[in-house]
Amino acid sequence: MIADSVPGSLPTAFPTEAGQASAGTSRYRIVRTLRLRNDNRPGVLGEVATAIGRAGGNLGDIRTVERGSHNVVRDMDVSTTDLGMLEDVLAAVRALPDTHLLDVRDEVLRVHLGGKLRITPRYPVRTVADLRHVYTPGVAEVCRLIEADPSMADRYTGIANSVAVVTDGTAILGLGNIGPVAGMPVIEGKCALMSQLVGIDAYPLLIQPGPSDQIVGALAAISATFGAVQLEDFAAPHCFEVAPALQSRVGIPVMHDDQHGTATVVLAAVLRAAAMTGQDLNQLTAGVIGLGAAGSAIAQLLMHYQGRTVYGTGRTPDSLERLRVAGGIAVEMDELMARCDLVVAATAQPGLIRPDQVRAGQIIFAISNPLPEIEPERAMAAGARLAVDGAVVNNLLGFPGLYRGALDARARQFNTEMFVAAALAIASRARDGEVVPDSLDREVHRAVARAVARAAMDTGVARLEPPPDYFEDVYRPPS
């Protein structure tokens, strides 16, 4: 059993983390909240922070719970790279003479208890009259209306504001092929963010891994329920088959977020990086390390925007062939690092780029999460002009607005022009000194939605022209 709160000690079982710890490293950070009672005198809090740092932990938020004349109780968020380091942190804290460890809590598990989503009705049923309006017999009139004119479903059902977020669990975050059920917390999180940021009703769907045609057939069969489909965490090369095949069978937008959502946000960040360093993006030679789902899409979108050849390096013949067909050139990694002004790495191989491979003046995006191919600090120390990691380049900046705009224009599909429009909108909202804007800024997502809807209209894939005030700053997502 996984403990949600165990006073003074670690939970006794961590199904995934334990396996990572036994291997000596973790590909993601472990976060715990420590409740401490400190003597109320100057310097004690500093001693705690120093002890945590020396043990390898990173100190996050500090919240005062209770303050007395002799003691202060605080909650302190601490992150470590593995369970062994967390044990070291706890031992260091326990050794402090003026500090008492009261509790160790996993706040991440707490917020996931019972899942992160629920369905609530827009119109509560309290009386018999309510029942007759919401359900039978009143609902029959609405059914007949839609039967006579199927387009009325957009007005009188939630279809036009709904997105299916689907995974087969084969490439979940940095965890790999852990299966669809284990991936459910990620998919629920995506749905919650769509709801809160742009007002979309998003539904998590889990599908068992299998042949592409079976997955496509199953999703096509239920597609009438939704206004769009987002594929999430499908492994390469499977994802290259499922997304286009499904799009060819349904008349609603389909996107694999790990491909085109990532590429959109990377393009936005690259636009900003070029501006911040005073360079013309169209004159920069770009290279992509890793040609899986994200890397292939990034290379193709960069080539479309720049109108230039992109160099790439990948591990499989299929990935290199995709690059060649798209107009790119395959090279070895050393040549890519020596030749390219802009380097984007998306390999899920921490530490792949050595400091001695960094060329002075390069822009480096090492975007694999949770650990990059090279830490931005090391890249900058080696001579890079600008370096960022996956903590900066976050898909959250892209997919909510992409889907909001596509739904509002009743787009039949996504296209490259819509991705470019979204990237330009994201870049335009960044402040001075920012590579990308705040991913929780709702105005950013509204700007992306407007740009995407306009691009859908301009390219002929929209079935509906939003009202004039849609494109004004007062726009709010439909309720």
* Opening angle at CA 160, ends 184 and 125, nearest 5: 80
CB 35 within 8 A of CB 105: yes
Alpha-carbon span 369 to 366, nearest angstrom: 9
pLDDT interval class at 108 (50, 70, 90): confident
Residue 475 bears catalytic tag: no
Alpha-carbon span 449 to 409, nearest angstrom: 10
Alpha-carbon span 184 to 253, nearest angstrom: 22
Q: What are phi and psi of 245, to 5 degrees?
A: -65, -40
CB 17 within 8 A of CB 81: no
What pLDDT is stored for residue 177 in this prediction?
94
pLDDT digits (tens, 9 = 90+) for 281-319: 999 999 999 999 999 999 999 999 999 999 999 999 999
What pLDDT is stored for residue 16 in this prediction?
30
Q: Which of 173-177, 180-184, 187-191, 284-288 has the lowest mean pLDDT?
A: 173-177
What pLDDT is stored for residue 81 in this prediction?
87
125 token code pair:
């049923």
Residue 403 bears catalytic tag: no
pLDDT interval class at 7 (50, 70, 90): very low
Q: Which residues contact 374 (CB under 8 A, 6 or more apart)?
A: 345, 351, 352, 353, 354, 355, 358, 364, 366, 387
Sketch out the chain's domains with CATH numbers: 5-112 (3.30.70.260), 128-256 (3.40.50.10380)
pLDDT at 2 over 70: no
Strand segments (E) across 314-456: 329-330, 342-345, 363-366, 386-389
pLDDT at 199 over 50: yes
Please return the burial class of 233, using the count of CB atoms within 10 Å of its CB with bins 0-12, 13-18 and 19+: buried
Please return the burial class of 391, using the count of CB atoms within 10 Å of its CB with bins 0-12, 13-18 and 19+: exposed
CB 424 within 8 A of CB 265: no
pTM: 0.84
What one-character DSSP code corresponds to residue 470?
G
pLDDT at 189 over 80: yes
Question: Which of the following is catalytic: 190, 203, 403, 475?
Answer: 190
pLDDT digits (tens, 9 = 90+) for 80-104: 988 999 999 999 999 999 999 999 9
CB 239 within 8 A of CB 293: yes
pLDDT digits (tens, 9 = 90+) for 15-57: 232 223 333 333 457 899 999 999 999 999 999 999 999 999 9
What pLDDT is stored for residue 460 in this prediction?
97
What pLDDT is stored for residue 463 in this prediction?
96
**Residues 140-178, buried b or exposed e (16+ Cβ, 10 A)?**
eeeeeebeeeeeebbeeeebbbbbbbbbbbbbbeebeeb
pLDDT interval class at 11 (50, 70, 90): very low
Question: Which of the following is catalytic: 28, 135, 203, 403?
Answer: 135
Instruction: Spell out the alpha helix ranges (H) of 75-138.
Output: 83-94, 107-112, 128-134
Alpha-carbon span 358 to 386, nearest angstrom: 11
